[in-house]
Amino acid sequence: MHFMTMFLANSIKIFIRGSIMNFKGAVSSFLVMGLLFSGCSAIQNSNHAKQTSGSQDIAQVIEFPSNKYPETAAHIKDAIANGKTDICTIDRDGAAERRKQSLANVPTKKGYDRDEYPMAMCLEGGKGASVRHIKPADNRGAGSHIGNKVEKLPDGAKVKIVVK
């Protein structure tokens, strides 16, 4: 912006000296500079559009490692293939209630955790979530992995889950 102000001031000085030719050149240069700066912001806006999914702004894409947590990864892939969303809107305050809803009619099984997808921390979780019995180490490791990825994101932020 400072450069544009300085450029405009120099253009006016040229005009005051009475040189019409220099004035035309200065105006042309000024217009070119304006187009260049406009083009830069247009490029910036097009990059932002690539980071959105429809009308949803995605704060982060979480690549979930199937080699580290194979049971959880298989559950997420199956749930998404069966119509569950790959988008999670973070809502930590409602997690306990959503967990209660999603696990309500799923009996416990000795030696296994009940994994729910969408996760309880997601606004999309709760009643109707897919629930699967998986080994505790896999489930808890996966939960820790996701928790670390979203730790600094505020409630309301949307993340996309991609199983790799």
Q: Where are the domains of the chain?
A: 2-50, 53-163
Distance of CA 128 to the CA centre of its chain: 24
| C-alpha–C-alpha distance, residues 38 and 35, integer Å | 5
CA torsion 88-91-95-98 (nearest 10°) is: -60
Which tens digit of pLDDT belongs to each residue from 73-126?
A: 999 999 999 999 999 999 999 999 999 999 999 999 999 999 999 999 999 999
Please check the confidence at residue 148 and state whether its pLDDT lies above 80.
Answer: yes
Tokens of 156: 């309301």
Tokens of 83: 């119509």
Rg over CA atoms, the chain:
27
What is the average pLDDT score of the chain?
79
The answer to whether the CB of 147 falls within 8 A of the CB of 69 is no
Please check the confidence at residue 49 and state whether its pLDDT lies above 50.
Answer: no
Which tens digit of pLDDT belongs to each residue from 101-114?
A: 999 999 999 999 99
Burial (CB count <10 Å: 0-12, 13-18, 19+), residue 111: exposed
Direct distance between the N- and C-terminal alpha carbons of the chain, in angstroms, rounded to an integer: 44
- Work out the pLDDT band at 135, boundaries 50, 70, 90: very high
